Structure 1
Amino acid sequence: MMIRKIYKSSWFIKVVFVVSLFAIIFIAGLGYKHITNLSKSTDLVIHAFKVNVELEQILSYLKDAETGQRGFIITRDSSYLKPFFEGRIKVNNSFAELKYLTIDNPEQQENLKELSTLIDKRLDNLEIASNYAIKEQTDLAQFKDAFQEGKDYMNAIRSKLNYMITLESDLLKKRNEKYTSTAKITPIFLYVFILLTLVLMYAAYAKINSDIDKLKKYNQQLKVFKEATKQSEIINKHGSWRWNVEEDTFHFSDNLFRLLGEEPNSFDQSIENFMQFVHPEDVEKLSAQVEKMKEEKDLPFIVYRVIHKNGSIHYLKAYGKSTVNSEGHTQLLGTTTDITDEIDHYNTLEKRNKELELNNKELQAFNYVASHDLQEPLRKIQTFLSRLEDKEHDNLSESGKKYVERIHVAAGRMRLLIDDLLQYSRTNKSDEVLKESNINTLLEDAQQDLAEVIVSKNATITVDKIPNMKVIPFQIQQLFGNLIGNSLKYSKKDLDPVITVTYEQVSSEDDKKLSKGSFNEYHKIVISDNGIGFEQEYADKIFSLFSRLHNKDEYSGTGIGLSICRKITDNHRGFIFAKGKPNEGATFVIYLPVI
């Protein structure tokens, strides 16, 4: 994993090339050293050969001198002494050459001194023996002694020369072994090193090829991204610009020209030319911001107008932020967006808000009318009906009495409808502050409001202990009252109502119904009964305003109560769901967020 990461690193190629360069230099150095060693080895062979030749030459010169002496002794011809005299000169020349050749070898230098002494003695001996040979017979004994001494000197010279030649040959052999070993190891080492270098260079080559492929891919992606950016600018109605601070030059994107109603690159890219499109009333404001931008190297959000050639006015919003590029130059990068549609939408929204405010005022007026003006004639109707029943009841026909009774029922339903509408309109106001409330107390208060019905129907209500919550108290009490009242209203005639209220805290992840919610945790309150129930297909319809599943003569009601329940849970950013089965009962599930 680590090796793969190193191979993929951008510096891998640089390291490989540096190593390869040093490897090549090192190989060249080894090659040069190897050639130098071979050259030295050759020089040593030649050197040893020269030394041995000169030593052999000295022996040859001495032999020539000795031979000349013998010829002179036998013939008494002085011409035979020529090799003797020339041999001394040649021996001296050879000695000079040998001293030069063995200057770096102290042992051979010492041997040369000893050899020089022996040769001098031998040459002197030759001269003495020659002198004895040409005298009378009386000097024959001295001649024999000198001749024998010369022979001994010659043997000593041969021995010394052989020793020196052997010494030079041994030295040459050792040096040859050393250089031969180096010559053997060096090619193997060079081969391994070259192979390693080739492997590294191949790895670098493969990496370069891979990078080139990636670069082509990235370039293609960059082209696609560039084209996508251009299309995005066109679709989103924004353009980009760049100001090179140090050079004081500008660059506009193609779509920035279009935002001005112009074709790309239709004018020189400068702030002066750009200002020609700005609305006269906004030129001063924008110019001040540009000057500030030049000083502070920043441009906050600014909105201004531009005028197209066709006379249309467009709103633009610009923003700029200074950056420093890789070369250390300061640039101001900015975007400009056409927000004309946003301004139009905002103006439309403002208009609708004013209309909504007017509607709210009208609704408030309706509430006032419903709570005062509508109830006043209703009270009068009910008052006159009471008087009519008290004073004229006996004078009314049977049909008249039925009409009066129906008027009573209609007036009661009218009053109930007005009260429910007032309750619903009040529930629409969700701006009440949430308060930490005792839910058990609110539930008890709701039951207290229904105490008369609970007793008359012999109902049993079982309630779990519920923790405190942040709610709008009177709305939650109304929620419980409506739901328990609903269970009492739709109870079976031949069966005492049994109402159960349970509680648990649930997570939005555990319940799919809460996936659209904005909270992670919810309070779950379930109210179930054993009443007449309903078909599940109507589970959502029953929360609609004025929705009724039963005949008004069979069950009283206005169809507003459950609508109020949903409005209350909406105000708390919660949910309410219903489940039912005919003749088995109904269940209402309330979810309130944990705040």
Structure 2
Amino acid sequence: MKRNNLFKSTSFLRVVLLLSLFVILLIGGFTYRHISNLTNSEEIVVKTYNVNLELEHIVSYLRDAESAHRNYIVTKDRFYVNTYLNAKEKVNRAFLKLEDLVGLNSNQQKNLTVLNKLTDSLYNNFSKTNAFVTDNTTNTETFKTLFFEEKIIMDSIRRQSNAMFDLENKLLNEKQNEYQSDLRFTPLFFYLVLLATLVLIIMAYNKISNDLKKIKAKNDQLLIFEESTNQSEIIGKHGNWVWHIDSNKFIYSDNLYRLLGEEPQSFEANFDNFLKFVHPEDVDKLAEDLDNMIDAEELPFVNYRIVQKNGSIKHLKAYAKSFYSADGQKRLLGNTSDITDEIESFLELEERNLELERNNKELSAFNYAASHDLQEPLRKIQTFISRLEEKESDKFSDPGHQYLDRIKSASARMRLLIDDLLQFSRTNKPDKEFVSADLNELFENAKQDIVEIILEKKAQITSDTLPRAKVIVFQMQQLFLNLLSNSLKYCKKETVPIIEINYSKVKANDDPLLSKAPKSFYHKITFSDNGIGFDQKYAGKIFDLFNRLHNKQEYSGTGIGLSICKKIIDNHQGFIFAKGEINIGSVFTVYLPE
């Protein structure tokens, strides 16, 4: 129903717009034409009339001056001198008016200049003849000549004024002809203007029609967006609100009511009604935060609790930001989320962390027992075995000697296992102090720890120059020691062990093994040997704790050494990979972040 009303209103507005434009165009055209015609006619007529009038005034004033001068010659009465002198002042004022009237017309300006000179010549002639009147010598030939020149000058003035009069009339006629031409062109001009205006109106109409279609499409999209927003609020357990600060008016979204455990729009949206749901212990704090909202442009997150009518307590988190509308009114746009599940998950996580902390303490106690309490009885067992060998070995039978050797071997493996567990425990809880260290020096220290084995097996070890890096010193030295020991342990019989250590700095994007690495550059160190190798299918399990690929009767060990290496590399946020071929050798690749 609303849409039909909208379209009816739009159609009505279109009709009104077209009629209004047509009427305004019609009235404006007629008004402009008549006013323009009247104005032009009036200006031309008035100007021509004023020019002719001033010319007649000048000629009249000069005639009066001529008549007064002749009376002076006849009567010698000074009264007539003042008369033609006063006429000169009137002529000058008329000349000033003519200068304004002719304006930029160069022909009339020239004519006016000539007329002005003739007027000056006439008054100069008056001055010359006055001398003869004063001396009573008017009967001389010179006087008669001057008197005759006066008549000639006056005739020239009449001709010049007539020429200006004729020129002005000529200009008037030309203007009238132009005016008539304009009158003939005006209907066509206004018709073309009318057509152009109608075209513009049609274009405007089409534009309005297209805009309305776009607005309709946008409104449909807004309806979809509004519904999507409502569904998003329900799924995301949040609601929005707007506070018009100047009018103290609130607008709540439907889902904000649902967060309070109420039906949408079931009560008037205002702060007092909202406070009824707030937990009594959080009312004062929330009221204070609301006061801060008015002055602050942006409000940080505010956490508080609400109590629903069924007694359920929910944890809410609110955020608001102020903005100004087009009319300058300040408003607060806020969003409130239900974080009850997050709070409960956090509390559960805290409980699990406490449980984990208790388990870690128990594990630490076990590690202490493994590294101290278990070693003490083991040392006694090995001590008594040593005494049996020294003092009672000659009394044992052959099976007895075998049993004794097996006891010795088992106790040695037990000691090695305890030492490896202790070492793994140390790497599991590392000293987090990273220092800049020379890896070459740490590598040499690791070699010195097993120098007897290296000499015994005549191993050949070559190494590139390693860089300085920020590492945990004792762990990095343990890494080198374990990798070297691993290569020496699993060397082929009757073959000289050859171990090569190579170094390069690589970019993570250029190395396929580092496609998901968080850093950009890494130190790449590879340990290659010519030992017995291993099947590549076990490469993913070789770093698992207690994992062994070979029989313990063939090769000693606890299966912890490579697990320690993996743990050390993890502590340095690096990577370690293994690659092997049976009876060819193994390659361990270490990546340390630069």
TM-score norm. by structure 2 comes to 0.69
Match of 2:500 in 1: 500
In the alignment, does 2:294 pair up with 1:287?
Answer: no
**Residue 405 (1) aligns with residue 444 (2):** no
Inter-CA distance 28–361: structure 2 relative to 1 (3 Å threshold): same
Q: Secondary structure at the match of 2:590?
A: strand
| CA shift in 2, pair 1:286/1:179, >3 Å | closer
1:557 aligns with 557
Q: Output the amino acid matched with 1:587.
A: V
Paired position in structure 1 for 2:49: none
Unaligned runs of 5+ in 2: 1-16, 42-169
Equivalent residues in 2 for 1:147-296, closer than 5 Å: 178=178, 182=182, 193=193, 197=197, 200-201=200-201, 203-294=203-294
Read off the aligned partner of 2:319 and give its amino acid letter. Answer: Y
How many residue pairs were aligned? 450
Compute the displacement of 1:476 (Å): 1.0
| Residue 29 (structure 1) shift | 3.8
Question: Does the residue aligned with 1:542 lie in a helix, a strand or coil?
Answer: coil
Query: 1:292 Cα deviation (Å)?
Result: 4.0
Which structure 2 residues correspond to residues 50-129 of structure 1 after superposition, within 5 A?
none
Q: Which residue of 2 aligns with 1:346?
A: 346
What corresponds to 1:539 in structure 2?
Answer: 539
TM-score (norm 1): 0.69
Q: Tell me what 2:489 maps to.
A: 489
Report the 3-state secondary structure (helix = DSSP H, G, I; strand = E; otherwise coil) of the residue aligned with 1:541: coil
Contact 1:507 1:521 in 2 (8 A): yes
Distance 1:584 1:305 in 2: 68
Q: 1:521, 1:367 → 2: CA distance?
A: 37
User: How big is the shift at 1:556?
Assistant: 1.0
Tell me the residue number matched to 1:577: 577
Is the 1:306–1:314 Cα contact (8 Å) retained in structure 2?
Answer: yes
Determine whether 1:527 maps to 2:493: no
Between 1:570-579 and 1:25-34, the stretch displaced more is 25-34
Per-residue CA deviation, residues 434-454 of structure 1 (Å, 9 max, x unaligned), is: 111111111111111121111
Change (3 A) 1:564 1:217: farther
Distance in 1 (alpha carbons) for counterparts of 2:441 and 2:181: 106
Q: Matches of 1:193 and 1:494 in 2, distance apart? A: 111
Q: Which amino acid aligns with 1:541?
A: K
Distance 1:429 1:511 in 2: 30
Deviation at 1:578, TM superposition (A): 1.0
1:308 lines up with 2:308 in the alignment: yes
Does the aligned pair in 2 maintain the 1:440–1:466 contact within 8 Å?
yes
| Corresponding letter in the other structure for 1:479 | L
Residues of 2 paired with 1:204 and 1:510: CA distance?
60
Quick one: which amino acid aligns to residue 333 of structure 1?
A: L
C-alpha separation between the residues in 2 aligned to 1:500 and 1:21? 93
Structure 1 CA distance for aligned equivalents of residues 587 and 201 of structure 2: 78
Whether the 8 Å contact between 2:25 and 2:194 is mirrored in structure 1 is: no
Contact map agreement 1:305 1:313 (CA 8 A) in 2: yes
Q: 1:65 aligns to what? A: none
Which amino acid in the other structure matches residue 283 of structure 1?
Answer: V
1:303–1:315 contact (8 Å) kept in structure 2: yes
| Residue 246 of structure 1: how far off its partner (Å) | 0.8
Q: Secondary structure at the match of 2:525?
A: strand
CA-CA distance at 1:290 after TM superposition: 2.8
Partner deviation per Cα, 1:436-481 (whole Å, 9 max, x = no partner): 1111111111111121111111111111112211111111111111
Given the superposition, is the C-alpha separation of residues 317 and 175 from structure 1 closer, same or farther in structure 2, using an over 3 Å criterion? Answer: closer
1:417 aligns with 2:417: yes
**Deviation at 1:499?**
1.2
Residues 454 and 201 of structure 1: CA distance in aligned 2, closer, same or farther (over 3 Å): farther
Find the residue that maps to 2:493 and give its secondary structure: coil
Distance (Å, rounded) in 2 between the aligned partners of 1:521 and 1:201:
67
Equivalent residues of 1:577, 1:588 under 8 A apart: yes
The structure with higher relative contact order (CA 8 Å, sep 6+) is: 1
Q: CA deviation at 1:320?
A: 2.2
**Does structure 2 conserve the Cα–Cα contact (< 8 Å) formed by 1:528 and 1:586?**
yes
Q: Percent identity?
A: 58
Whether the aligned pair in 2 keeps the contact of 1:290 and 1:299 (CA below 8 Å) is no
Cα distance between partner residues in 1 of 2:201 and 2:478: 84
Residue 473 (str. 1) matches residue 448 (str. 2): no
1:195 Cα offset (Å): 5.8
SS at match of 1:523: strand
Partner residue, 1:85: none
Deviation at 1:291, TM superposition (A): 3.7
Asked whether 1:391 is paired with 2:375, we answer no
Does residue 426 (structure 1) correspond to residue 426 (structure 2)? The answer is yes
- Cα deviation 1:248-298 (Å, max 9, x = unaligned): 111111111111111111111111111111122222322333344446576
Relative to structure 1, is the Cα distance of residues 171 and 299 closer, same or farther in structure 2, using a 3 angstrom cutoff? closer
Distance 1:472 1:519 in 2: 19
Aligned CA distance change for structure 1 residues 294 and 174 (closer, same or farther; 3 Å): closer
| 1:189 Cα offset (Å) | 5.3
The aligned counterpart of 1:367 is 367
Kindly report the root-mean-square deviation, in angstroms, between the aligned alpha carbons of the 2 structures: 3.3
Structure 1 pair 470–210 and aligned structure 2 pair: CA distance change class (3 A): farther
Instruction: Determine if contact 1:34/1:183 at 8 Å carries over to the other structure.
Output: no
Partners of 1:27 and 1:190 within 8 A in 2: no
**Matching residue's letter, 2:478:** Q
Q: Quick one: distance in 2 between partners of 1:297 and 1:509? A: 44
**Quick one: structure 1 residues 172 and 331, their matched pair in 2 at CA, closer, same or farther if it must change by over 3 Å?**
closer
